[in-house]
Amino acid sequence: MSNREYFQFLAYRWDVTRAQEIAADLPVYRMAVEPWFGWLPAVRIDEDYIDRVDLGRPLIMVKIKEADGALLIIDGWHRIARAQRDSVSHLPVTVLNEEQEREVRIFGGSKKPRSRSGQRSSAARRPRVTGAQGPRRAAPPTRRGRRRGKR
């Protein structure tokens, strides 16, 4: 079992453990957290864990190149939830730049999932179809969503 921590938001996933390693050498800033309170319903929060979080530990944000450099918190959502509950207005934060974000991103955007062998995952490949002539690649759907040759 791995001790690594991950964060997934929609179709993106990041290696938070690696992000923490990189962030340890970055400057720490203070950030107003109230604008992020509205995002809390979109993130899974363990209510029992909120009391144990350290509000002095910096959040980790990443700049996502494919989103025009938009910022997203990938580590610290329980701290955001506690800040909201305890009326804390500012928290420490470190920001990974676009290159560092790409390093810690496992998949999402233009970065496709990889299997452990380094190959594209089976979910990312077209399925193989077995017919009378043996295995072949499935034809991609046409614009109407039908397979070629079928009506």
pLDDT score of 117:
52
Question: Does residue 19 surpass a pLDDT of 80?
Answer: yes
Q: What average pLDDT is seen over the chain?
A: 82
Q: Collect all residues with Cβ–Cβ distance below 8 Å to 142 and sequence separation of at least 6.
A: 148
pLDDT tens-place string over residues 34-89: 999 999 999 999 999 999 999 999 999 999 998 888 999 999 999 999 999 999 99
Q: What is the pTM of this model?
A: 0.72
Tell me the range of 1-10, 11-20, 105-114 where mean pLDDT is highest: 11-20
User: Contact, 113 vs 6, CB < 8 A?
Assistant: no
15 bridge partner residues: 6
Tell me the range of 61-75, 103-117, 118-132 where mean pLDDT is highest: 61-75
Q: Which residue has the tokens 């990443």?
A: 62
Question: Does residue 101 surpass a pLDDT of 90?
Answer: yes
Q: Select from 124, 47, 109 the least CA-distant residue to 78.
A: 47
At the topology level of CATH, where does 6-110 sit? 3.90.1530
Tokens of 134: 């043996």
Name which of 10-14, 28-32, 92-96, 120-124 the model is least confident about: 120-124
pLDDT score of 123:
44
